[in-house]
Copies of this chain bind each other. A is one copy, B any other.
Amino acid sequence: MNEKTRDVVISAPGKAILHGEHAVVHGKVALAVSLNLRTFLRLQTSSSGKVCINLPNIHTFLSWDLTLLQPLLPENRGNDGNVQELDPSLMKKLREFTGIAEGSTDTQSMAVFAFLYLYLSVFAKSPVLPSMTVAVWSELPTGAGLGSSAAFCVCVAAALLSTQGTISSPQILENSTARWSVEELELVNQLAFQGEKIIHGNPSGVDNAVSTWGGILRYHAGKMTPLERVPVLRILLTNTKVPRSTKTLVAGVKDKINKFPTILIPVLESVDAVSCKCEEILADMATCSATAEHYSMLEELIDINQHHLNVMGVGHPSLDVLCRATLARGLHSKLTGAGGGGCGITLLRPETDCCVIHSTIQDLKAFSYECWETSIGAPGVQLHSSDRRQS
């Protein structure tokens, strides 16, 4: 490592749920999609004898002397690292070192803890810890259910593994990007999942998988299957900024199912069918060329699922406002993720005029919503540039 300095720029997408949120908890199919609001990471190796991390979005700028980090490394340095489980001894040492209490959920603490854990895991086998400065900034809002923590972990994992040499540094043509092999991406995904576990305790692994692989993932009974060919769809993503507790919403759906099982169980089945039908339409759009009829059906499915989510009790007046405001412009919306406020997605057709989009965004801003014109189904983690210089 010492003979070279490296400078890599990597990005990874957020995620949204296209269909199946909540139903997935009850064994139904969900479609998780990459959201082309991306997190960017720049890693520069240095000879400063320090590790610096700069997270401007969350106002966090920290650095540590390598001499202080070195003692945290596992004694058995030959261990190749079981990346399936968190290392309890490293967790304990890091907790003592950072002073971050067990059970903390503070965004800054969690990001720092996850970064240090991944850094030490990756370089545990190296003779010396490398100096570096890592900067991460994101287009994703945090805490909005858009997988911002997963995009962060995926970027960090890819950058560290690439710097360490576990995964390659693909050649990049000017103004272009590169991706890694399936095996390499699997390593990135596994390591990012460790970071997600630190941040979330018991994550499903869907967020880091979508951020790693991009495109659309079918998630069913704990099993994730990337859809083979998918179209990239233009959307508006809207954050109503109404705070909600995913835990409370999930519990509410469960209560409702227990209260009215004969009414709710068919609704979950119908949501399952919505996900499956959507999958079918998307495959068709990617194989043949996408038609207006495809878009009409996608819009119908969005409307149906939004009604179903209301039946499950996870709607919110702010989301009704979103649906109504966009429908007034001929656009169809549904909540994405937990509901009860939070975010919604609005499908845009390829031919949707920019004036319509602009007016819609203006309308939504009048409700103090935040709005992004973006896409779903975009690529996963990408390498944007990689300079390898003799130091």
Contacts and interface: CB of A to CB of B under 8 A. Distances in A.
A38 B274 CA distance: 44
A262 interface: yes
- Interface core residue of A263, A276, A277, A308 (most chain B CB under 10 Å): A263
A267 to B, nearest CB: 5
A310 B263 CA distance: 16
A276 B260 CA distance: 11
A284 interface: no
A266 interface: yes
Contact of A273 (B266, B308, B320): B266
A264 B303 CA distance: 13
A177 interface: no
Contact of A270 (B266, B277, B301, B304): B266
A269 interface: yes
Contact of A267 (B266, B303, B320, B324): B266
A311 interface: yes
A273 B267 CA distance: 11
A307 interface: yes
A144 B304 CA distance: 27
A31 B260 CA distance: 18
A3 B332 CA distance: 72
Contacts of A266: 266-267, 269-270, 273
A293 B188 CA distance: 52
Given A263-B273, A270-B270, 5 more contacts: A260-B273, A262-B273, A262-B276, A266-B273, A320-B324
Q: 8 closest pairs, A vs B, by CB?
A: A262-B273, A266-B266, A266-B270, A266-B269, A307-B307, A263-B273, A307-B311, A307-B310
